[in-house]
Structure 1
Amino acid sequence: MNCVIIDDEPLAIDILTKHLKRTEGFKLLKSFQNAFEALYYVQTQSVDLIFLDIQMPRINGLQFIKILKYPPKIIVTTAYKEFALEALEQSVVDYLLKPIPYDRFLLAVNKALELPLVRPSSQNELQPRGRRYFFLKEGHTSIKIVEDDICYLHGDRNYCTIHLQTEKKYARGNLSHYGNQFSKESFMRVHKSYFVALDRIEKFDSESLWVNGDCIPIGRTYKRALMDFLSKKML
């Protein structure tokens, strides 16, 4: 896995660098002492995993995650406990408190290895929805999933079911991890447990919508954004 460290403390960078050198399967590409400098690099290079501090100048770690359109896997490394819930809501792999012992570091990176790598094509922004794709790990192989074949995603804790037109694929990882890979113009979260492909919606009412013949509940938190979108499609 190609890794980047973003931390404003040189000592923290040194410790993580030593941990990575001890661990097979991980390559440190670069380290940065503020997130602003790292932003362009992360968005233009093949980065699989970021070790990210939270309290940093200019852009803090949580702001940095929200800026990234296609964030890679992220392990938060911080001295502060109070940001854990907000960070986990951003679908980070793990939340490590400094000072970070090697055994705890190893647990976190092994968790990152177990999660499937979802990396959109670099040309996604120039292609119609039907041409976008990613590879999903299935056993010892990785299979191609074409975005246009996806009807909706259903999350259940740390697992996600990808409902295609004619079959289902099961993946390890939470719903946000997968749903956030897709463009907001094509997919929308409509419930805490569901992301739907907007062009697959067949009908709807105030409480539910139907995709590929399945009834999906509309969550109260997501209802307004969904109805605003659907109202623009009314004749």
Structure 2
Amino acid sequence: MKIRCVIIDDEPFARKLLLDYCSRVPQLSVLGDFSNGLDALSFLNHNQADLIFLDIKMPGISGIDLLKTLGNRPKVIFTTAFAEYAIDGFELDAIDYLLKPFDFPRFLKAVNKAFTSFPIEKPAISLNNSPQEDFLFVKDGRDLVKVKLNDILYIKGQKDYVMFITKNRKIMSLMNMRDLEQDLIQKAFVRIHQSYIINTQHIELVASDKVRLNNEYLPVSQTYRLTFREFLEKHK
């Protein structure tokens, strides 16, 4: 399933940038882009959008006023150069507030917030459930990289990013550790630390406070120790 989105901004460069950013996220489908709120309002009254990238200060009708007029209100990410409108934006339950100029990582962070509010697959990965070969697609910059689950040794969280470590490569992606944990819990993966999710198929040794995978030791924190032990007992 794709998120149907609409771009509304009176600045041509801003619309072009958002179109480019949206094109890099396979789960986003742009229904249209508009240079003013009145044209967008007419479109939205006859077409169902899931998400709007909405400028606030525009001629004719502001983004705030446009949003207030919509009956079946889509999710919204405000995009503006004026920080003083942030409070008004969040009072309308905006997903996020992108202050211009913003780069692609900041855009992607806002999009990930939007995706968590929809009952669909997470935007950063697509998990194949085929019993023959489980894999996921991981977004690496502009590319989607196919990674076989069996090849993953462990996953390391680093703030808003995670790093997938295999025997042959490392892939950094803008993702959430909690979402990954939920997606992979049925695939022999388990979380052992705030910063680590491991593939239990590669465990070589288990000690009281650490595990060894591919001759590398990783810590098992007190918080996850009981859950880890229960996981091992269940999968003996």
- Relative to the length of structure 2, the TM-score reads 0.52
| 1:108-164 deviation digits (Å, cap 9, x = unpaired) | 86534589621112xx0x515xx1112222333322111110010111111211110
TM alignment of 1:31-180, pairs within 5 A: 97-100=90-93, 104=97, 110-113=108-111, 117-121=124-128, 124=129, 126-128=130-132, 131-180=133-182
Structure 1's unaligned 5+ residue stretches are 5-16, 30-48, 52-74, 78-95
1:211 matched residue in structure 2: 213
CA 1:21–1:188 in structure 2 vs 1: closer, same or farther (change >3 Å)?
Answer: same
1:182 matched residue in structure 2: 184
The aligned amino acid for 1:104 is: Y
Count of paired positions: 155
Q: For the residues of structure 1 that align with 2:160 and 2:76, how far apart are their CA atoms?
A: 18
**Do the aligned residues in 2 keep the contact of 1:163 with 1:169 (CA within 8 Å)?**
yes
**Do the aligned residues in 2 keep the contact of 1:117 with 1:137 (CA within 8 Å)?**
yes
The aligned amino acid for 1:3 is: I
Matched residues, percent identical?
23
CA 1:50–1:148 in structure 2 vs 1: closer, same or farther (change >3 Å)?
Answer: farther
- Relative to the length of structure 1, the TM-score reads 0.52
Greater radius of gyration (CA) = 2
**Do the aligned residues in 2 keep the contact of 1:118 with 1:181 (CA within 8 Å)?**
no
Structure 2's unaligned 5+ residue stretches are 9-17, 23-27, 32-49, 53-74, 78-88, 114-122
Q: For the residues of structure 2 that align with 1:163 and 1:172, how far apart are their CA atoms?
A: 15
Deviation at 1:103, TM superposition (A): 7.9
The aligned amino acid for 1:213 is: N
| 1:41-60 deviation digits (Å, cap 9, x = unpaired) | xxxxxxxx889xxxxxxxxx
Q: Tell me the C-alpha RMSD between the 2 structures.
A: 3.8
| 1:148-195 deviation digits (Å, cap 9, x = unpaired) | 100101111112111102222222233224333324341101111100
| 1:58-107 deviation digits (Å, cap 9, x = unpaired) | xxxxxxxxxxxxxxxxx899xxxxxxxxxxxxxxxxxx843146982788
The aligned amino acid for 1:162 is: F
Q: For the residues of structure 1 that align with 2:96 and 2:181, how far apart are their CA atoms?
A: 31
The aligned amino acid for 1:2 is: K
- Find the residue that maps to 2:125 and give its secondary structure: coil
**Do the aligned residues in 1 keep the contact of 2:210 with 2:218 (CA within 8 Å)?**
yes
CA 1:184–1:50 in structure 2 vs 1: closer, same or farther (change >3 Å)?
Answer: farther
